Amino acid sequence: MKFCKLSCAVCLASALYAQSAPSQAAALKQAYIGIKNNITQAAEKMGDADYGFQPTAPERNFGGWVGHVADAQMNTCSRLSGSPQRLNAGSKTTKTDLVAALKQSFDACDAVYEGTTDANANDPVQSFGGATTRLAALWGNIAHDQECYGTMAVYLRLKGIVPPSTENMERGRGRGRGKKE
């Protein structure tokens, strides 16, 4: 009898866990939304005059990072949608133009991420590094965005601006901006 109860409990727990675990496509979309929010908010938080800021001569300036993200995303997502496009955002220098290009690249990616399902996640696609799966290409895009955001966050901090990811984390802990423990 105890074995029967234990077996039923394990089966029930397994069924509940399986229902609550997000699908591959859902996890991908959740990660994309997070990095999209961080990069968009970082681009908005940096002042117009500081888009030319670069900590050292060999580094990109802040605007260069925004343009790089926009170009890389458009290259990846437009290729996956079947109509490759180039933004040439790297040639732009004003905050207004760069934020517009970033938005355009996220609009292109929104459609691709939204169209990704567990059923098509393993479809073969051509990626920057060659043939891969749709899921791997999109996770690669997220990883690239996270690397770029990490650099952008340092640039924000060097200008005395709290990065969006930190600000959002502190808000979630109830500390908010300017509060100290």
Sketch the domain layout of the chain as residue ranges: 24-168
pTM, full prediction: 0.84
Q: Is the CB of residue 102 less than 8 Å from the CB of residue 66?
A: yes
pLDDT tens per residue across span 43-86: 999 999 999 999 999 999 999 999 999 999 999 999 999 999 99
Torsion angle of the four alpha carbons 86, 90, 160, 32, in this order, in degrees rounded to the nearest 10? 20
Length of the chain: 181
Q: Which CATH class is domain 24-168?
A: mainly alpha
The answer to whether 147 and 38 are in contact (CB under 8 A) is: no
CB 42 within 8 A of CB 162: no
Question: What is the per-residue pLDDT across 3-53, written as a single tens digit (0 to 9) for each?
Answer: 444 444 444 445 545 556 689 999 999 999 999 999 999 999 999 999 999
